[in-house]
Structure 1
Amino acid sequence: MRDPRYGRGRAFYAGVMTPTSLPPGPRLPRSVQAALMLRCGPRFVAACRRRYGSAFTLRVASMGTLVYLTDPADIKTVFAGDPDIYHAGEANSMLKGLLGDTSVLVIDGDLHRDRRRLMLAPFARDAVAAQAGVIAEIAADNIAGWPVGETFPVAPKMSEITLEVILRTVIGASDQARLAALRTVMPRVLSVGPWETLAIANQDLLRRRPWRAVRDAIAEADRLLYAEIADRRADPDLDTRTDALAMLVRAGDMSDKELRDQLITLLVAGHDTTATALSWALERLTRHPAVLAKAVRAARDGDDDYLDAVAKETLRDRPVVFDVGRVLKAPVELAGYRLPAGVMVIPGLVAVHADSQIYPHADRFDPDRMLGATLSPSSYLPFGGGNRRCLGATFAMVEFKVVLREILRRVELETTTARGEHRRLKHVIFVPHRGARIRVRAKRVVAAEAPKCPMSGPA
C-alpha cells in the first residue's frame, strides 16, 4: 500500500515503513518497449540482460512494470514463493475474456489450489498412458494425407493433430456432427492475434463490428461445449469413460460454467503449445541431419529415451511459451532489491535456456545433452514451475513423443541447409515464422502394431 507522503519508492509493509527499489532497465517509452517485445522479444531481453545484469526492469504498455529474473536462484525463490503474495492468476487476467473468470489459469489462492487438485486426475501418468493409442491413430491418419515431394508448412498439420487429440481425449467428443462443428469453430477461437487480444482484454469491444466475429466464434464454441457437458452428465456410462471431461464431471464439484472454463483453458493451453513444439522439432531435425538420422532409428527401434531427449532439447532450444509471470501482492526481497507490490516478476525462461553457463554451447541443438540429465526446475522451465507448473505437462510430453514417433516411422524427411526459421510471437507463444516448412521425400510402409506409450523419464 503506497503512502504519498513519502514519495515514490517507499511502501508500507507489515506496518513498518521500508524502502523499495527496482533493478535498472531501459528508459525507452512504454510503447516502444511494448513494440520491441512484440517484434523481437528474445533479442530485446538478451540485450537487456547483457547491459543490466541478471535482473532488470521493463516498463511495457498494457502490461505495466515487469522485473525480469534470469538467475536460477531468484527463479527458485519465485516458484517457491507464497502463492498469496505471488499471484500467477492475476498475471493472466487479460485472458479472462476468452477463458472465463473461473479458469484455473486466472484464479489464485485457495480456489486455485482446490481447482487444480480436481484437474490433476485426468493428467496422471496412468490416465495419460491410456490415451497413447488414440493419439497414435490420430497422428497416423493425418500423416497419410501429407504431400510427397512438395515443400509445405507443417505447423497447420500439427495443429490439426493436436486439436483432434484434445477433442477426442480431453473433451471426449463422439457425436460426429458436433465433432465436425468443433473442428471448424475451435481454430477460429484459438487463433488469437494482437487484434483479437484487444477485444478479449476489453470485452466491451466485442459488441463492436470489427470484433463481432470473435464474439460469435466464442459463442458458438460455448454452445458446443455446453452440449458436450450436458451429454456427459446424462451419460449412463459416465463411470467408465476416460476423457478428462468425464473425470471432471465425476468429481461433482463444478458447475456447467466452471466446466466450460476449464475445457476452453485446456483447449487454449494444450492445442497451440504442443502443435508449435512439434513444429519446432521438425524444423530443428531437418536442419541437423545426424540428429534426424538418430531420431529415425530411435522411432524405428523403440528407443523412447532418445525421443524424450529430442522433445526436451526442442523445448529448451525453442521454448514455446514466452514467459510466466507473478504479480506481487506485497513487497518482497528478491535479486538484491526490495520489490514493491504491484510489479510483475517474470522468470526469464528464454534467457535461461540460452545461457551457455547452464547449457554448454547453448546455441547448439543437441538432444544428447538431455540423455540421463537431471534437469533443475529453476533452469529448465518449458512448463513453468512451482504450484503453477502446467498441469498437462505429462500429457504434452507423451503426445509430443507419440506424434513424433509416428511421423519419423511413416515419412522420410528431406534435410535442408536453409537458415533456421526465426521466432515470431503469436499472442504468448513463439511460432516458426514460416510455419516450419518441410519436405517429405517418401512415405514408409509401417507394419501394424500396438502403439507404444513413451513414458520414459520425467516430464
Structure 2
Amino acid sequence: MTPPTPLLGARTLDRETARALPPGSRLPTFVQTVLFARHRKTFFPRLRAQYGDVFTIRLVPSSRVVVVVSRPEHIREVFSTPPSIAHAGEGNTALEPIMGSHSLLLVDDDDHVRMRRQLMPAFNGHALRGYSEMIAQLARDEVEAWPVGEPFRLHDRMRDLTLEVILQVVFGVTDSDRLERLRPLVEKVVSVGPVIMLGAFYPTLLRFPPWRTFLRAQQQVDEILYDEIARRRVDPTVAERNDVLSKLLAAGTWSDVELRDQLVTLLLAGHETTATSLAWAFHELARMPEQLQAGQQAADEGDDAYLEAMGKESLRLHPVVYQVGRRLTEATEIAGYRLPRGTTVMPAIGLVQGDEQHFPDVHTFRPERFLGDNPPAPGTWIPFGGGTRRCIGAGFSLLESTEILRAALTRYDVRAVAPAPEKAKPRNVTLVPSEGCTIIATPRPNFGG
C-alpha cells in the first residue's frame, strides 16, 4: 500500500511557499476550523467576497493548508486531475475507524479502481429499476403512518425511512426479529458526531462513555453484518435476490471485511444525506403552494422527470455536503496557482450552486431548472462530486427521492407551521433544517377517489 502523502501544514510550509499560495484568512487555525465546522455556509461566502474565487484556509490537524476553489472551470480542473495525483481517500482518513480501511471513500489508486468496478453492477440502471418497487412500498408504508392534521418533524420521519431502505434494500435484511435488533443499534452508529470521532485520534477515550457505548454498538452491528454475509455466501438463491449485498456477492470477489466496509459506507453516506435532502424539499413545498400543486400533479401522472427535478433542486438549493476534498500527491497547477505536494484542494459545492451567475433567482426553489432544453451548465450542479470519485450511489439517491416524493404527494397536502423558512444548522457533515422541517400533513381531497 502506498504510504500517505504528508499534509502541507505548519511544519512543512516555508515562507516562500506561503507567499505563493492564494490569499486567505489570517485568523488562528483553531478559529478557522470552528468557523468551517459550524458556519461554513456563511464563512465561505465571506471569504470569497474578501479574497476572490480561490482562497486559502488553515484547519486542524497540523494547521493544514486548504485551497478552496469555487469557479466551475477550476472545479473541473480538480476533478479531471489524475486520481493518482489528487487523492480523495487521504482526505477522509478521520472516517476510517467507523467505515473501515477498505471503504470506497478511503482508498485511492488501484484499490479504488478495483472496488469501484466491483460495486458498479449493484448501482447500474438495471439494478436501480429492480430496487424501485421495494423502495416505493417502504415509502407508502411510512407516509401512511404520518400524523394527520398535527405538526410533526418530517426530518425525523425521513431519517427513519431512509434507514429502513438501507436495512432492507441495501443490507437485504427482512427478518422482523433481526430488523428489530438492528434498528436501534444502527441508529447509534449513524448518529456518530465529531466528539465520538475524536476517538480515532485519542484511543484512550474508547475506554469511557460515550465512546465505549458507541464502540459496543458498532461491534454489535458488525456481528450481524458478518453473519448476514456468511448466510448470503451459502444461499443458493443469492443470484436471484434483489438487494445490494446479494448483487455485490454475485458480481465481485470480496473478503468479508471489504464487504462489511462497503455496507457501512453505504449506510453512513446514504442515510443522513438523502433524508436531509428530502426534508429540505418538503420544507420548500410546504411554503410554496404552486410548487406543491405541480409536484402533486407530477406524482399523480407518473412524471418521474419532474419528481427527480424536485430532488435535484433541493440538492442545489440546500447542498447537504457543502464541499469535497483532494490531497495532492505532487505539485500541481490548479486555478492558476502552482500548489505544492500535500496541499488539500477543496471544491466548494455550496458556493458554485449558490451563485446567481449560474442559477438566476438563486434562492428560489425552481425544479424547472432541470427540465427542458436549457439545463444547468456542466460543473455548476455537483452535489455528488465529480470525476472518477463521483458518488457511486447518486442514481440510487435520486431514485429514492423520486419514490418517496411520489408516495407522499399522491396522498397529502403539506403546509408549514410557520411561514418563515427554517435556518440551516450543522448536523455532523450535513446542514439540516433547524426545526426538523416541522409541517402539517392533511389528506388530499381526491385521495383514494
TM-score (normalised: structure 1)? 0.91
Aligned to 1:31: 30
Q: Contact 2:87–2:327 at 8 Å: present in 1 too?
A: yes
User: 2:350 and 2:121 mapped to 1: Cα distance?
Assistant: 30
Q: Greater shift after overlay, 425-434 or 41-50?
A: 425-434
Aligned to 2:14: 8
Aligned to 2:340: 340
For 1:28, the aligned partner's letter is L
For 1:420, the aligned partner's letter is P
User: 1:394 and 1:276 mapped to 2: Cα distance?
Assistant: 17
Once the two structures are TM-superposed, the CA of residue 10 in structure 1 deviates from its matched residue by 5.7
Root mean square deviation, CA, Å = 2.1
User: 1:120 and 1:204 mapped to 2: Cα distance?
Assistant: 39
Aligned to 1:168, the other structure's residue is in SS state: helix
Q: Contact 1:281–1:310 at 8 Å: present in 2 too?
A: yes
Q: Greater shift after overlay, 227-236 or 243-252?
A: 243-252
Aligned to 2:60: 61
Q: Contact 2:358–2:377 at 8 Å: present in 1 too?
A: no
Aligned to 1:131, the other structure's residue is in SS state: helix
Aligned to 2:3: none
For 1:53, the aligned partner's letter is G
Once the two structures are TM-superposed, the CA of residue 334 in structure 1 deviates from its matched residue by 1.2
Q: Contact 1:309–1:370 at 8 Å: present in 2 too?
A: yes
Once the two structures are TM-superposed, the CA of residue 174 in structure 1 deviates from its matched residue by 2.2
Q: How does 1:26-425 map to 2 (within 5 A)?
A: 26-62=25-61, 64-372=64-372, 373-415=374-416, 418-425=419-426
User: 1:280 and 1:53 mapped to 2: Cα distance?
Assistant: 29
Q: Greater shift after overlay, 170-179 or 414-423?
A: 414-423
Question: Cα–Cα, structure 1 residues 368 and 109, in superposed 2: closer, same or farther, change >3 Å?
Answer: same
The alignment-based identity, stated in percent, is: 41
Q: Contact 1:289–1:415 at 8 Å: present in 2 too?
A: no
Aligned to 2:236, the other structure's residue is in SS state: coil
For 2:294, the aligned partner's letter is K
Once the two structures are TM-superposed, the CA of residue 356 in structure 1 deviates from its matched residue by 0.5
Q: Greater shift after overlay, 129-138 or 201-210?
A: 201-210
Q: Contact 1:123–1:391 at 8 Å: present in 2 too?
A: yes
User: 1:447 and 1:392 mapped to 2: Cα distance?
Assistant: 34
For 1:424, the aligned partner's letter is K
For 1:142, the aligned partner's letter is E
Aligned residues: 439
User: 2:197 and 2:419 mapped to 1: Cα distance?
Assistant: 33
For 2:375, the aligned partner's letter is T
Q: Greater shift after overlay, 202-211 or 22-31?
A: 202-211
Aligned to 1:15: none
For 2:177, the aligned partner's letter is A
Once the two structures are TM-superposed, the CA of residue 137 in structure 1 deviates from its matched residue by 0.8
Aligned to 1:66, the other structure's residue is in SS state: strand
User: 1:421 and 1:160 mapped to 2: Cα distance?
Assistant: 21
For 2:31, the aligned partner's letter is V
Question: Cα–Cα, structure 1 residues 201 and 293, in superposed 2: closer, same or farther, change >3 Å?
Answer: farther
Q: Contact 2:77–2:335 at 8 Å: present in 1 too?
A: no
User: 1:252 and 1:232 mapped to 2: Cα distance?
Assistant: 14
User: 1:194 and 1:433 mapped to 2: Cα distance?
Assistant: 18
Q: Greater shift after overlay, 246-255 or 229-238?
A: 246-255
Q: Contact 1:377–1:385 at 8 Å: present in 2 too?
A: no
For 2:333, the aligned partner's letter is E
Question: Cα–Cα, structure 1 residues 217 and 99, in superposed 2: closer, same or farther, change >3 Å?
Answer: same
Aligned to 1:452: none
Question: Cα–Cα, structure 1 residues 118 and 20, in superposed 2: closer, same or farther, change >3 Å?
Answer: farther
Q: Contact 1:25–1:58 at 8 Å: present in 2 too?
A: yes
Q: Contact 1:149–1:439 at 8 Å: present in 2 too?
A: yes
Q: Contact 1:21–1:340 at 8 Å: present in 2 too?
A: no
Render the CA deviation track for 1:382-438: whole Å, top value 9, x for unaligned.
Answer: 101110100010011011011011001112212465221111122211111111111
Aligned to 1:431, the other structure's residue is in SS state: strand
Q: Contact 1:30–1:60 at 8 Å: present in 2 too?
A: yes
Render the CA deviation track for 1:208-243: whole Å, top value 9, x for unaligned.
Answer: 344101111110110111111011011111121121
| Structure 1 unmatched ranges of 5 or more | 12-18, 449-459
Question: Cα–Cα, structure 1 residues 57 and 306, in superposed 2: closer, same or farther, change >3 Å?
Answer: same
Aligned to 2:431: 430
For 1:430, the aligned partner's letter is L
Question: Cα–Cα, structure 1 residues 196 and 239, in superposed 2: closer, same or farther, change >3 Å?
Answer: same
For 1:270, the aligned partner's letter is G
User: 2:200 and 2:307 mapped to 1: Cα distance?
Assistant: 37
User: 1:7 and 1:356 mapped to 2: Cα distance?
Assistant: 36
User: 2:32 and 2:19 mapped to 1: Cα distance?
Assistant: 23
Q: Greater shift after overlay, 419-428 or 44-53?
A: 419-428
For 2:14, the aligned partner's letter is R
Q: Contact 2:359–2:376 at 8 Å: present in 1 too?
A: no
Once the two structures are TM-superposed, the CA of residue 444 in structure 1 deviates from its matched residue by 6.5
User: 1:102 and 1:22 mapped to 2: Cα distance?
Assistant: 33
User: 1:7 and 1:217 mapped to 2: Cα distance?
Assistant: 41
Q: Contact 1:26–1:57 at 8 Å: present in 2 too?
A: yes
For 2:42, the aligned partner's letter is R
Once the two structures are TM-superposed, the CA of residue 20 in structure 1 deviates from its matched residue by 7.9
User: 2:194 and 2:143 mapped to 1: Cα distance?
Assistant: 31
User: 1:444 and 1:111 mapped to 2: Cα distance?
Assistant: 54
Once the two structures are TM-superposed, the CA of residue 197 in structure 1 deviates from its matched residue by 2.1
Aligned to 1:130, the other structure's residue is in SS state: helix
